[in-house]
Structure 1
Amino acid sequence: MSQLLFQDGQFYRDDKMVVGASSRALRYGDGLFETMKVNRDTIQLGDYHMQRLFDALHLLQFELPTHINPSYFLDRILQLVHRNGHGKLARIRLMVFRGNGGLYDSENHYPHHIIQSWSLPEANHHWNENGLVVGIHDKARKSIDILANSKTNNYLPYIMGALEAKNQKWNDALVLNNAGRISDSTIANVFLVSGNKITTPALEEGCVAGIMRRYLLEKLKANNRDVQEIAIQPADLENADEVFLTNSTYGIRWIKSIGNKNYTANLSLELYHLFIKPLFGITD
């Protein structure tokens, strides 16, 4: 059954062709996106998403008319999920991109945008009992530059990592930066646990400035947990007791194994109960 999408002020069927062959988004990946979660008609951490989005829009030198503001996007997202019947639990993708033109001839920096929604199963909220099998993708690497922390449409290192994960039958792949250190995974940020010490790659290491990463770091620091944002080598994975991933859709997912190394999930599960379940509104 066809659903609706929202583009530049109008609702369309999602099987409608909405981007032409001359689009800079298609030609050059000239744009960025946000992946969000709607839970019981509320956009989870919506203010955090809008802050990251508008920081990136300014970085990419979009020209924002006054009506393109956080409230505009948040309102349109809720309108879309209601029209699609996804208000209970949904994944949202908001893409912003420049219009048509070549590399040098675009004078239009208007933030064209497309919003899509998909329903999520209730299991998305729950702890992953079995753990993830993850590998390290060491071929296509993430650059450490001013774009690294934003979710731009230039996603090839993550695509290559996801292709390897699929071929190797992994659940996900860790991606390295151009210095050979851990950046993040193809769809999430990564945290290591050694004893009671929690570490995650610093933003300066080229990872995406993940929304769940930010939320969890704030909670950990507010609760006086030993947490550090540092440079992490692949060899550090061998010395970790636990490794887990975070993203806006599923919160926390623990990793069972990376290569021949197996992990536990004691602290990871504790953090899920302390910080993720309240965010998701789970009371059981």
Structure 2
Amino acid sequence: MINFNGNTAQQDNNVLTQNRAFLYGDGVFETVKIINGKILFLEDHYFRLMASMRVVRMQIPMNFTMEFLEEEILKLVTEQGIASSARARITVFRNDGGLYLPQTNEISYLINAMPLENKSYALNTGEYEVDLYKDFYVTKQLLSSIKTTNKMINVTASIFAHENALANCILLNDSKNVIEGIQGNIFMVTGKKLVTPPVSEGCLNGVMRKQILALAKKIEGIEICEEIISPFDLQKADELFLTNVIMGIQPITKYRKKEFTNNLAHLLLQKLNESISEN
């Protein structure tokens, strides 16, 4: 029996009371963007998902190939009629059984999808103010660099941003250094230097982060660095922007009293769209 909001009922073996992702955050996930029936950066997403499963000691099924995952995602968005422009989330979780110690390392997966309005990435140049989130800190460890179903810091930071009329918050690690936004990696431009925190600082090993670093290296005169960023560095920057595979690049317009340009963000977005259209 279970009690759900005051009502008792028989426990169904398939309900959330048995799901380990729900009970313990024992799951990992990837969010992908689909354009014209093609999953962008599929190989990067697939290998990050496989690496995440290995880190948390999940058993990877023999049939869980990149081709299999691609087929399953595209089957869903095609049946929904949204294959022209969509986002899909693949959640992988350990099968039911056990308490902290699982009874099995075998997995199940769930894919859900929703339509997106735009096919190409567009630069949002509207007001986008951020501030630091200091209630909780991200630890500098391997688990912080993968997407697990335990995202309580991101949830509470989102609530803080909403309560304070902010577009986003900047997360800090346990050394009080800048690592990322709530839902994307952060980049800082100072003069001709483009800086983003190294993954070892606890930031997500982002798929779009990888694309932006590769594109920036092709721009003449830009120095690319993976370096520690302190909160004090942000106010000295010329430009700040966030990245993820769904939004692409989001310029930050204001941090405290400092306002920023978006010149490099605009150029990188153009190159990002060009690279997608070529593939």
Is this a same-fold pair by TM over 0.5?
yes
| Separation of aligned partners in 2, 1:163 and 1:123 | 29
1:75 correspondence with 2:71: yes
- 2:247 aligns with 250
* Letter of the 2:176 counterpart: G
CA apart distance, 1:156: 1.0
Shift of 1:101: 2.4
Matching residue of 2:207: 211
Show the counterpart of 1:111: 107
Give deviations 1:70-111, integer Å, cap 9, x for gaps.
221111000000001111110111100012223344222112
Q: Which of 1 and 2 has greater Rg?
A: 2
Moved more, 187-196 or 99-108: 99-108
SS of aligned partner of 2:156: helix
Change (3 A) 1:18 1:264: farther
RMSD over equivalenced CA pairs, Å: 1.7
Q: Tell me the secondary structure at the aligned position of residue 35 of structure 1.
A: strand
Note if contact 2:253-2:260 (Cα within 8 Å) is conserved in structure 1. yes
Structure-to-structure mapping, 1:119-138, within 5 angstroms: 119-122=115-118, 125-138=121-134
Trace 1:175-214 onto structure 2 (pairs within 5 A).
175-214=171-210
Specify the alignment match of 2:137 in structure 1: 141
Mapped to 1, the partners of 2:29 and 2:257 lie a distance apart of: 35
State whether residues 121 and 269 of structure 2, in contact with CA within 8 Å, keep that contact through their aligned partners in structure 1. Answer: no
Relative to structure 1, the CA distance from residue 161 to residue 255 in structure 2 (aligned partners, 3 Å threshold; closer, same or farther) is same
How much does 1:202 deviate? 0.6
- Paired amino acid for 1:172: N
Unaligned runs of 5+ in 2: 1-12
Contact map agreement 2:132 2:169 (CA 8 A) in 1: yes
Cα gap change, 1:221/1:123 in structure 2, threshold over 3 Å: closer, same or farther?
closer
Q: Distance in 1 between matches of 2:65 and 2:39?
A: 16
The answer to whether the 8 Å contact 2:37/2:83 transfers is: yes
Quick one: distance in 2 between partners of 1:221 and 1:28? 41
SS in 2 for 1:209: coil
In structure 2, how many angstroms separate the alpha carbons of the residues matched to 1:228 and 1:95? Answer: 32
Q: Using the TM superposition, give the Cα deviation of residue 63 of structure 1 relative to its aligned residue in structure 2, in angstroms.
A: 1.0
Counterpart of 1:266, as a letter, is N
Give the partner amino acid of 2:241.
F
Relative to structure 1, the CA distance from residue 121 to residue 106 in structure 2 (aligned partners, 3 Å threshold; closer, same or farther) is: same
Q: What's the CA shift string for 1:43-68, capped at 9, x where partnerless?
A: 00011000100011111111122111
Q: How does 1:11-90 map to 2 (within 5 A)?
A: 19-90=15-86
Deviation at 1:205, TM superposition (A): 0.7
Q: Which residue of the partner structure matches residue 4 of structure 1?
A: none
Is the counterpart of residue 230 in structure 1 residue 227 in structure 2? yes
Residues 124 and 221 (structure 1), Cα distance of their counterparts in 2 relative to 1, 3 Å cut:
closer
TM-score of the aligned structures, taking structure 1 as reference length: 0.89
5+ unaligned residues in a row in structure 1: which ranges? Answer: 1-16
- Whether 1:167 aligns to 2:174 is no
TM-score by length of 2: 0.90
Tell me the matched-pair count: 265
Q: Tell me, what secondary structure is at the counterpart of 1:214? A: helix
Offset at residue 230 of structure 1 (A): 0.8
Mark the CA change 1:104 to 1:128 in structure 2 (over 3 Å): closer, same or farther. Answer: closer
What's the % identity of the aligned pairs?
Answer: 29
Whether the 8 Å contact between 2:122 and 2:269 is mirrored in structure 1 is no
Does residue 98 of structure 2 align to residue 102 of structure 1?
yes
CA separation in 2, counterparts of 1:141 and 1:65?
34
Higher mean C-alpha deviation, range 60-69 or range 34-43:
60-69
SS in structure 2 of the partner of residue 21 of structure 1? helix
Q: Which amino acid aligns with 1:219?
A: L
Aligned to 2:9: none
Greater Cα shift, 224-233 or 248-257: 224-233
